[in-house]
Structure 1
């Protein structure tokens, strides 16, 4: 008997995938409304939805009475048809979440990393995913987000975060070990995908994102398309210019990355040598002066850089996240200072904060797997 899990049926064609994707993202629709929105003829839409119903990808909802004419019977996705696993790899831990096709988390696990060699990271990822696959037998794919340069075949070309300098075929090895389709993406690009599909970015046609943590990410989404750049390196360098409170021009990563922030806090005596970000956040919330000075430094640098980003991209919303994002929440003047640096016309930009945890990152990785399931190809 083949021990590999049976992968649930996928949309059988690009046109069927388009119908399925629309229902995944925007919820139930009547057939007439669905045909109109997708520009399909009634016979074509009928044929495509029949195929999807027969494969178990869709379900029919109870008829809805109409003011005029016959009741409409909406179609929706069958959320029990498939499950997906999203994995977020950091330099300290691996996080994994099982989600529905709509990104609703069903179960989450995490484990500490010891060594961060490719082999150790691979083994820990498999160790987290294997029990999730066993507990959720309809897993259709795995998405992995990792702080690295990733090529179109899911090979890690290099990772400064993990100190990897040789190529490692992570996707190929994981597919062999798990027996499932695996998609591998840079973690920041995966986060952007997740925000555009199911996160706070979903309600905006365009948005910019700045994350501060172990690394600094700066990215944008326009019309649901993540800007990745010619080499898939857009937003991954942390080199967006900013200005410190004492007037120095520096790359944002030199003012807002976790390592820099903790060094600055220790020089001020805000935290001890063995203390980390959580201690700094707690002391700043308690109003300790040296901790607040560090917070103000970070908030100033991020506000200046973010204002420049908004000024250039003119997005509907600015989304701020990362493990150190709570430092920006503590500084109550941050939004006003940022807006003061914008033109009057852009000061209505929506500012949103993500949680400091990795849930959105893991869900973003799962979205990469969902998109491959629907289209049969990698995003981007």
Structure 2
């Protein structure tokens, strides 16, 4: 299968396309104002984007019956907002976990139009690439205008997504993007899964339109991403597992994964389950622990209360040092917020200046399809709009 993509966009065309993609339908005057363009320049830039099928001019609102009965008086050219042709291309996104591959197809607006999950029976890069190839082939049969593939992995990605190091997959510099491109003949981008989720939320979700935006994910581990100036802050430490050494309480619990009192030891789902099992001798699921804590069962309640105070402390630290306009809590573990909101708020207040502005906190329970959608957004960004890759 071959990618059907637009011609490379110039920086100015790219800026217009991104503005319409993330905020459309949007008027020409609003685009010109935001991008400091003259009407003539905007017309010149949008013409090839419309001709390529990337953008479309929405028809002006239809006149009402009463208005149509009256003599028409037109004042200049009617406003025709610009929008993307959402179904002009589709994108496959994959989230690889230790035992399952979750796949989605999105349109150009990142709306999920298909999902699939298959068991991962081997971690050999070649075998994983074969599995994603098979899933992509199935997707392409239903969506022939598939334009690219994004893959999110919990790990460290080096350079332009060519080499992947992931402890849970046992990969050390695996050339996974190349392996998948060779099989699919589609452009592939591989990225740390948290970075993919942050990009998705920055473009199409909770962080859209914000200059400073942070994401904290709670699940099998702890993830963190920061957007400044509308751009994801990149680092050579991306995917290294910062939560294992993010010390929240030096006297906190010691768990198999993460230093004593670290964000991972206090907040991750495996660590919370480990603490309850070690204290009670019973192996509960995370949801069961939350239910028991809410019902006042002493040991689960103590563990969840400690986790909640750790979460509030981490949120306050992010607010104090990064000063984001909003912090999004995402991941499979954020059910903690519903059970222990008072303890979280107390910890935030205890670690903030008394006159500090309230932290704008939003919560989103993310399933693995959300993570896969984040990977598809990377494909939209880099493979279609030509967003420059940041050197690391």
User: TM-score, normalization: structure 2?
Assistant: 0.87
Deviation at 1:345, TM superposition (A): 3.7
Q: Kindly tell me: are residues 153 and 203 of structure 1, through their superposed partners in 2, closer, same or farther at Cα, counting changes over 3 Å?
A: closer
Residue deviations 1:174-207, cap 9 Å, x none? Answer: 1111111111111111111111011112253322
Rounded Cα–Cα distance in structure 2 between residues aligned with 1:356 and 1:289: 28
| 1:180-259 to 2 correspondences below 5 Å | 180-229=186-235, 231-233=236-238, 236-238=241-243, 239-243=245-249, 250-259=261-270
**Counterpart in the other structure of 1:56:** 53
| Partner deviation per Cα, 1:346-377 (whole Å, 9 max, x = no partner) | 34111111114123322211111111134425
Where do residues 66-145 of structure 1 align in structure 2 (5 Å cutoff)? 69-145=76-152
Does residue 16 in structure 1 map to residue 22 in structure 2? no
Residues 31-40 or 309-318, more deviating: 31-40
User: 1:344 is matched with which residue: 354, 371, 383?
Assistant: 354
Q: Is the 8 A contact 2:6 2:384 kept in 1?
A: no
RMSD between aligned residues: 2.5
Check 1:38–1:262 CA distance in 2 against 1; reply closer, same or farther (3 A cut).
Answer: same
Q: 1:138 to 1:216 in 2, by over 3 A?
A: same
**2:192 touches 2:238 (CA, 8 Å); kept in 1?**
no
Is 1:37 the equivalent of 2:34? yes
Shift in CA distance, 11/144, structure 1 to aligned 2, threshold 3 Å = same
Cα 1:71–1:356, aligned 2, differ >3 Å: closer, same or farther?
closer
What is the TM-score when the length of structure 1 is the normalising length? 0.89
Distance of aligned partners of 1:118 and 1:350 in 2 relative to their CA distance in 1, 3 Å threshold = same
Residues 119, 279 of structure 1: alpha-carbon distance in 2 compared, 3 angstrom cutoff: farther
Cα separation, partners in 2 of 1:285 and 1:122, compared to 1, 3 Å: farther
Instruction: State the distance in 1 between where 2:159 and 2:367 align.
Output: 28
Secondary structure of 2:225's partner?
strand
Confirm whether residue 260 of structure 1 aligns to residue 257 of structure 2: no
Q: CA deviation at 1:118?
A: 2.2
Distance 1:209 1:73, change over 3 A: closer
Which stretches in structure 1 are left out of the alignment for 5+ residues? none
Q: Take 2:163 and 2:288, find their aligned partners in 1: how far apart are those partners?
A: 33
Q: Deviations over 1:133-164 (max 9, x none)?
A: 22111111111110111012323342123232
Change (3 A) 1:355 1:67: farther
- The 2-side partners of 1:270 and 1:40 are apart by 66
Does structure 1 retain, via aligned residues, the 8 Å contact 2:213–2:327?
A: yes
Q: Which runs of 5+ in 2 are unaligned?
A: 64-72, 255-259
Kindly provide the CA deviation profile for residues 251-307 of structure 1, in whole angstroms up to 9, marking residues without a partner as x: 2122222322221010122742xx433433343345433222221121122222221
| Corresponding residue for residue 68 of structure 2 | none
Displacement of 1:323 after TM fit?
2.0
Report whether the alignment pairs 1:363 with 2:373: yes
Name the CA distance, whole Å, in 2 between partners of 1:271 and 1:15. Answer: 60
> More displaced, 116-125 or 79-88?
116-125
1:208/1:109 CA distance change after superposition, 3 Å: same
State yes or no: 1:46 paired with 2:52: no
Deviates more, 1:106-115 or 1:235-244: 235-244
Partner in structure 1 of residue 300 of structure 2: 291
Query: Equivalent of 2:185, from 161, 179, 186?
Result: 179
> In structure 2, do the counterparts of structure 1 residues 10 and 346 end up closer, same or farther at CA, with 3 Å as the change threshold?
farther
From the superposition, tell whether residues 20 and 55 of structure 1 become closer, same or farther in structure 2 (CA, over 3 Å).
same
The answer to whether the 8 A contact 1:183-1:378 is kept is no
User: For the residues of structure 2 that align with 1:23 and 1:354, how far apart are their CA atoms?
Assistant: 25
Assess if the C-alpha contact under 8 Å between 1:303 and 1:337 holds in 2: yes
